[in-house]
Amino acid sequence: MWNFKYKYHHLPQPFKCTIYHSHSRYIHTYTLLLMAVIFSKIGILGGGISGLAAAKQLAEYNPVVLEATGSIGGVWKHCSFRTTKLQTPRCDYEFSDYPWPLRDNSSFPSYTEILEYLNSYATHFDLFKFIKFNSRVIEIKLAKSSSNLLSQKPFWEVAVQTIDASIQWYSFEFIVVCMGKYGDIPIIPKFGKKKGPEVFKGKMMHSQEYSKLNSEESCQLLKGKKVVVVGYKKSAIDLAVECAQANQGEEGKPCTMVVRTSHWIVPHYSIWGLPFYLFYSTRFSQFLHQRPNQGALRTMLCSLLSPARKATSKMIESYLLWKLPLVKYGLKPDHPFEEDYASCQMAILPESFFPEADKGRINFKRASSWWFWEDGVAFDDGTKIEADLVILATGFDGKKKLRAVLPQPFSAFLEFPSGIMPLYRGTINPYIPNMAFMGYVESVSNLHTSEIRCKWLARLIGGKFKLPSMEKMVEQIKTEAEIMKKTTRFYKRTCISTFSINHSDEICEEMGWTSWRKKTWLAEAFSPYNSQDYQQQDDDDDDETN
């Protein structure tokens, strides 16, 4: 007869099991490869900005934060180049209860400063104790059904690969997925037969791989090489500048950007001398824009006000065309500025970008289609250029990251046929129970967008309000998707920047907070909303002390 005695060494170590055999008196102690399942009410997947905000807001539940890598910070740690900086003003990209040390400094912090800020936030609020580093989620399984959001029953089982490649299982009642929209899974274009990188004698890499290089390695890689950068968004623009910087002097070679779609790029947050926030980030400016759940009267008013919206967009375009040599380089976009803004695609330009183009160190090639030949890249207009190195700054596939871990049928519910991710309040997928998603809806500052939703989620889990029916959530999501579709052809990026204040109003109302949060009517109408406006509300503090 076998008799088992379990002796737990500190979890999540493999557990030791002493086995006695009653007849032979053999005693063996085995370290079982199988690990004990670790239970917790809340699991947070990812330790980037969204994961940290979730851990802070849900701290009372002692959540387990599973982070695939050895550090916090997400894209700021793993997806940044030598020159990467925040492109949002720092007072907009801060936690509501943890201001930047020099918050009124108008310079944009470098990625290392952002990492310092995040480390300091996590230390201040004692968040590191929740984080399990080097814990990559590889599978999520539905364990048991539960009618109650936070009943005692385990709901999701999560398989985590640890640094020694062993598998640890966790069991959570509720999961907050914060695995990031960008980073990790690069988008690699597909090519026809004999048109892919296999025919190219040079080197091809994605910006993701490039971001792993340190300053010296990246300079060495680019120096003296004919580089092609595919893309014309923020990663591509920054890369082209780094390429130009590494190719100063006589032996330097120019870098060519392959531009499929030209987008509006902005040199700074001031347009014709006016602060940029006046155009889209105040209650008054967002009043001109369509928003979900507006009545017939407002819809009519919005139609009447559409010339004012177009005029705002035109005014910004005229400034950018005056300030930047977009026409000279054939880079004038074919769509209005508003469409880029409404899809969170506005890139802030490094100062030296066009000066380097003027010196011939950055060239542009407009092409709707391209492929490899043995010595470089060929285009649909019949032209070819030579290259030693092709860097794909072609973006990331955040949904693929989710599909890889979510079980069927839930992974099939990650997007509507329109391509938009169905998320109520940018957080809850009505088709997936006991799970929230953070960091998948974007706005001007993604930190603020995630943090306010984490506050909302904490109150939802705390039972301060209930979710509406599934039908109502789906209806709300569809209404928002319709607004995005009407505003921009790039609606698939799931961005709420033209109705962000309205979105926050609805979140506040659901949490029982006042939605108009400024001290005066003038400030309410004409000053921008940022995370400081959504600090803990007094009634909430009262609740907590009671």
Residues that bind ligand FAD (CB under 6 A): 45-51, 66-69, 74-75, 79-80, 84, 86-88, 93, 136-137, 178-184, 401, 405, 439, 445-447, 450
For residue 50, which amino acid is it? S
Q: How far is the CB of 412 from ligand NAP (least distance, A)?
A: 24
Instruction: Find which of ligand FAD, ligand NAP, none residue 503 binds, CB within 5 to 8 Å per kind.
Output: none
Q: Which residue is nearest to ligand NAP (CB)?
A: 395
Residue 379: HSE in the Cβ half-sphere, 13 Å Cα cutoff: 17
Report the residue from 101, 189, 355, 512 that binds ligand NAP according to the rule CB under 6 A: 189
Q: Looking at this protein, which amino acid is placed at residue 420?
A: I
Tell whether residue 242 is a contact of ligand NAP (CB under 6 A): no
- DSSP label of 15: P
- Is 84 one of the binding residues for ligand NAP (CB under 6 A)? yes
The partner in contact with residue 63, picked from ligand NAP, ligand FAD, none with C-beta cut-offs of 5 to 8 angstroms by kind, is none
Is 330 a binding residue for ligand NAP by CB under 6 A? The answer is: no
Among 48, 51, 180, 231, binds ligand NAP (CB under 6 A): 231
Q: From the list ligand FAD, ligand NAP, none, which binds 48 (C-beta under 5 to 8 Å, kind-based)?
A: ligand FAD
* Residue 230 touches which of ligand NAP, ligand FAD, none (Cβ within 5-8 Å per kind): ligand NAP
Q: Return the number of other C-beta atoms located less than 10 Å from residue 318's C-beta.
A: 13
Q: How far is CA 291 from the centre of its chain?
A: 23
Q: Alpha carbon of 275 to those of 56, 154, 235, 323, 350: distances in Å?
A: 32, 50, 25, 16, 19
Which does residue 109 bind out of ligand FAD, ligand NAP, none, counting CB within 5 to 8 angstroms by kind? none
d(CA 496, CA 282): 14
Of 140 and 241, which has the nearer Cβ to ligand NAP?
Answer: 241
Residue whose C-alpha is closest to residue 302's, from 477, 486, 479, 516:
486
Based on the number of CB atoms within 10 Å of its own CB, is 413 exposed (0-12), middle (13-18) or buried (19 or more)? middle
| Shortest spacing between CB 455 and ligand FAD, in angstroms | 15
Beta carbon of residue 87, minimum distance to ligand FAD (angstroms, whole number): 4
Q: Which does 241 bind (CB under 5 to 8 A by kind): ligand NAP, ligand FAD, none?
A: none
For residue 180, the partner it binds in ligand FAD, ligand NAP, none, with Cβ less than 5 to 8 A by kind, is: ligand FAD
In the complex, least distance from residue 385 CB atom to ligand NAP, rounded to whole angstroms = 14
Distance CA(79)–CA(351), nearest Å, equals 21
Angle at 459 between CA 454 and CA 463, to 5 degrees: 145
Alpha helices in 342-465 (DSSP H): 353-358, 398-405, 446-461
Nearest-approach distance from CB 239 to ligand NAP, in angstroms: 9
Q: Name the nearest CA neighbour of 225 among 356, 72, 390, 345.
A: 390
Give the C-alpha separation, 506 to 477, whole Å. 13
Per CB under 6 A, residues contacting ligand NAP are: 84-87, 182, 187, 189, 207, 230-236, 238, 258, 260-261, 393-395
